[in-house]
Amino acid sequence: MMRAYERLINYTKFETGSNDTSSTHPSTPEQLVFGKTLVEEMKSLGMRDAAMDENGYVFGTIEANIENWLGTIIGFIAHMDVVRDVPFTNIKTNIIENYNGSEIMLNEEKNMKLGPDEFKFMKDYIGMDLLVTDGNTLLGADDKAGIAEILTMAETLYKNSEIKHGTIKIGFTPDEEIGKGADLFDVKKFGADFAYTVDGGAFGEVEYETFNAAFADVFINGVSIHTGSAKDKLINASLLAMEFNSLLPVQERPENTENYEGFYHLDKIEGIVDNAKMHYLLRDHDLAKLEARKVVINEIATKLNSKYGDNTVRVEMKDSYYNMADQIKPYWHLIDNAYEAISELGGIPVSAPVRGGTDGSRLSFMGLPCPNLGTGSHNHHGKTEFACLQAMDKSVELLIKLSEKYANS
């Protein structure tokens, strides 16, 4: 039987970076290729109904092996895409056996290193085996590790009929990394009462608080004129973009915040003299504070329009997802069962506010309460991303234990 890390290595061959400029669903054809491969794998394991819909969502069912079972249907969900703002093609993996706690040289030519001086939690993995890259790309454990663990759980259940479980639903989504993973997710068709996304970091993580999220697009109209006769006439849109950003609090940028502290993040900027555009991510765990951030953005636009003329600055804002905590709390068995299962496996349950979101953030508001579990991987969205082989195995065991717990509910 395959271990989860072996599946992850296989999945790294699929170049599934999602594209936020695309208007298709999914945003890239490579995700469809990966989805079709997953469907075939699911069928080979025994999931007779495994299929991918026209929008790239992969669903399947592990039927209950308890006679006349009518209990709670639990689901496990992971996403197929990876970010594309870090190199994500031609991924080359390497296994560091029996990690000794020292610095790992991923790429000598580029002096790309991975070690406990920068990442103190690596000391937790001394004596274990780590899956790393050659320092040129991400690994894609976010979230192909989750897919690997879910399907390794499935294979284990199919090959060990003595493990009693109820009906289990499996779902793999496209485009999570561009915030569209739940856009066309058919909750009714999926058919679970509750679910877990398997899309976190260390084994033992149980996440049920996320940011409230919005974005703000700021459009700036400049006045372009020959520089030789520009005095009192030229309005440089690119400079106005810089001025706009300077009016936001420096201490409320992502690099200066932690825990429950929200932020303004300038995600993209482009401009010439005539026009400029900025794309901001607004984040806060407290919805009222997120709304206050929107007010600040609008107030800066009003101030600059007063200074440079009406319609110089225009703002468009839209909410992306909301903190799922209030949707999870009425179904606290999801957290209790996860804590209990992790403890039974010798782990320490840890819950901290997620400084981001998952598909579960939106699915929880769509009627599918959906906290998030760790995958045994770290440093997502970067070239130092790695996964621990033994922690991935533990994550598989966790999914099996949860399946057993819900078999009796």
- Among candidates 17, 16, 391, 389, which has minimal Cα distance to 201? 391
Catalytic site includes residue 81: yes
What's the longest Cα–Cα distance across the chain?
A: 86
Angstrom distance (rounded) from CA 244 to CA 220: 10
Question: In the predicted model, what is the mean pLDDT of residues 284-299?
Answer: 97
- All structural domains of the chain with their residue ranges: 4-209+323-407, 212-320
Q: Is 316 a catalytic residue?
A: no
User: Strand, helix or coil at 403?
Assistant: helix
pLDDT tens digit sequence for 231-290:
989 999 999 999 999 999 999 999 999 999 999 999 999 999 999 999 999 999 999 999
pLDDT over threshold 80, residue 32: yes
Q: Which fold has domain 212-320?
A: Alpha-Beta Plaits (3.30.70)
Q: What is the pLDDT of residue 61?
A: 98
Class of the CATH-defined domain 4-209+323-407: alpha beta
300-303: which pairs have CB atoms within 8 A and are 24 or more residues apart? 300/244, 300/247, 300/248, 301/218, 301/244, 303/247
Give the pLDDT band (50/70/90) at residue 358.
confident
| Mean per-residue pLDDT over the chain, rounded | 96
Best CA proximity match to 25, nearest among 222, 159, 186: 186
User: Where residue 10 falls among pLDDT bands split at 50, 70, 90?
Assistant: very high
DSSP 8-class letter at 235 = B
Q: What is the pLDDT of residue 3?
A: 98
Residues 179, 144, 364, 74: what is their CA dihedral angle, to the nearest 10 degrees? 160
Residue 179 has a pLDDT of 87
- For residue range 89-140, what is the model confidence (pLDDT) as tens digits? 999 999 999 999 999 999 999 999 999 999 999 999 999 999 999 999 999 9
Residue 341 corresponds to which tokens in the numbers above? 């299962």
Confidence of residue 314 (pLDDT cuts 50, 70, 90): very high
Q: Of 142, 143, 175, 176, which is the active-site residue?
A: 176
pLDDT-above-70 percentage for the chain:
100
pLDDT of residue 320: 87
* φ, ψ for residue 44, nearest 5 deg: -65, -25
Specify the pLDDT at position 363.
96
Given the residues 30, 41, 81, 385, select the one marked as catalytic. 81
* pTM for this predicted structure: 0.90
